[in-house]
Every structure is written in structure tokens, then in C-alpha cells.
Amino acid sequence: MSVNLVVKNVSQVTDRIRQIEFADVMDLSLPSYSAGAHVDFDLGELGSRSYSLIDWAQPAEKPKTYTIAVQREESGLGGSMKMHELSVGLNITCSNPSNDFELADIDAPSLLLAGGIGITPIISMMAKLNSQGRSYKGIYTGRSQDFMAFLPQLQNSFGENLELFFDDQKPLDLQTLFKDIDPATQCYLCGPKGMIEVAKSAALTNGLADKNIHFELFAAPEAQSDDQPFEVELSSTGQVFTIPVGQTIIEVLEEAGVDVMFDCQRGDCGICQTEVISGTPDHRDVVLSKDEQAAGNVMQICVSRAKSARLVLDI
């Protein structure tokens, strides 16, 4: 089900980051959401793009607006540039909110780590933890202060519960961050794939259980210069599909009318995980552990490709 929106306000947060506020075109209440949720915007020929909803207080039951922040990526696929073209009064549609990055409803401390524009869902999560009086620590890291969004508001809202790190002044040491961590801690990671992989490894090394580590990429992994077409065979029908450079397995199968389960299309939710019967996957997700990736028995078909000429999948 789609939601019809109108742009209510646009503001520049940094040179590259723009905050956009939307309301229902009929000024009705919008579908409710929980902290960490996102919506998918329909960008026509460019497809859909997911953006986390920002709320500086615990999300309302019947919100009147949705707020997102979009970082402009000149070298990307065009989605962020399209979003930056939005101005007050323009209409756009989005999906109902969904949440693959939900706060665990358990009595345990939380550690929330955001890299770059990955701060957007973390804001709503810290706000909810604040409102509930729960124990948490927020970590926000980026290349420099100039590239990082909402710094004054973050410090005013979360105070000593938030610590800032800058690569050019005060770089974050992830091993130190996770050293002596309470093993009951729920850890939430949002940012670039590389940061998530290193942080997850440091958390596991220092005693956190895998089930206590939650993560969300803020963008799908980009195409690589050495990508090549490959074939996918469906074990149930014997059908063979060519996956060209620039398209994912899911996109090709969807176009052919094959019903597959998926959600995030970024390689972080695990819903599209599929058994590999033969062939060698080229893993690009953050869901599987290094050992699981090396085994090659399963893959996330929303982002991962193939190192072999053909994959036979249990579909």
C-alpha cells in the first residue's frame, strides 16, 4: 500500500545532507512506525529508495509528518540526486513504514553506533530509549565535523549519553569500544558496510553474542569494476536467467515473474537468504559471518553475485 505525500519543508543540514519533511496530501495522520523504521520512496524509472524516519521524541502513534535526511551522492545511481531535487509543494509516494532494525524489548543496556548518514535511524532509537529511561550509549563517527549531521541538536538531546568521534581529530578505536563490554548489551550498528563488518567482528571478539548484534546499511553495496554477467538456475523448474552487470538476482527474477521473498535490498535483513546448491557466491552482505560466507551454502540474493559462471539456487 502506498502513501501519498507532499513536501512540507526542506532544509540544508550540511553541504551534502538535506532534511526533508513530508505530510499527507490530504493532511491526514500518516501510518505509525517504530524507532528504526524506514519507508521506500517511489522514484519512477530509478526504482525505489529506502530512507530511515527521524523522530527526536518517541515516534507518535498518529504522526502528522515524516522526516528523513538524504546525503547527496554524485557518483551514485541517481536516487539521492532525485531526492535533493524535491521542493516544497511537490508530491511523491512512499510505502508504509517497515522496520528491520527494531529495538529489542528486553531489560539490557544498549550500544548504538552510527557512521556518517547512518545516524538517521539511531536518532529515533536513542529518543525512544531516552523516553523509556533505559540505559544506553550512543556513538557517532564520521570523517570530520563538517560532514556530520545534526551535531548541535544531537548534543542537546542526548548529552552525555552520546560520544562523538572524528577521523581527522579523534578517530574511533572499535576494539577499545567493545573491550570489557557487558555481554548482555544489545548492539545496534548503522553505517557503511566496512564499518559494520569491522564493528561486528570487534563485538564478537570481545564476547558479544551474534544474536545481540543488530545492523542496517544506509545504502546498498555499489557495483564493482570487475563485475561480470553470470547465470542463475532455479532448481525447482530448471529455468536459467542471466544476471547482467548492474542488476541483482532479485531484480531479474522479479522481472520474469518469479515470486521471491525480500525486503531491504541492501544485504542486511536476511529475508532473501537462499540456499546455494552449486556454484560459488560472491558475498556482499553483512548478514553472514565470515565462516558462513566461506562455506558458500547460502547467500543473500538482493546484493550478492557469483564468482562462478552459474549458480544453482534452491528456488
Q: Could you tell me if residue 100 is inside a domain?
A: no
Domain count, the chain: 3
Question: Are residues 73 and 15 located together in one domain of the fold?
Answer: yes
Question: Are residues 133 and 198 located together in one domain of the fold?
Answer: yes
Question: Are residues 90 and 114 located together in one domain of the fold?
Answer: no
Pick from 158, 186, 217: which residue ends a domain?
217
Question: Are residues 195 and 245 located together in one domain of the fold?
Answer: no
Check which CATH number belongs to the domain holding 143 and give it.
3.40.50.80
Q: Could you tell me if residue 103 is inside a domain?
A: no
Question: Are residues 6 and 91 located together in one domain of the fold?
Answer: yes
Q: Could you tell me if residue 26 is inside a domain?
A: yes
Question: Are residues 124 and 77 located together in one domain of the fold?
Answer: no
Question: Are residues 206 and 241 located together in one domain of the fold?
Answer: no
Of 84, 37, 72, the residue nearest 58 (C-alpha): 37
Question: Are residues 115 and 183 located together in one domain of the fold?
Answer: yes
Q: Could you tell me if residue 105 is inside a domain?
A: no
Burial (CB < 10 A; 0-12, 13-18, 19+), residue 313, is buried
Pick from 217, 245, 276: which residue ends a domain?
217
Pick from 154, 187, 217: which residue ends a domain?
217
Taking only the tens of pLDDT, the chain with its 315 residues reads 799 999 999 999 999 999 999 999 999 999 999 999 999 999 988 878 889 999 999 888 899 999 999 999 876 668 889 999 999 999 999 999 999 899 999 999 999 999 999 999 999 999 999 999 999 999 999 988 888 999 999 999 999 999 999 999 899 999 999 999 999 999 999 998 888 989 999 999 999 999 999 988 766 666 676 789 999 999 999 999 999 988 899 989 988 999 888 877 777 778 899 999 999 999 988 888 888 889 999 999 999 999 999 999 999
* Maximal CA-CA distance, the chain: 59
Q: Which domain holds residue 88?
A: 2-95
For the chain, the residue count is: 315
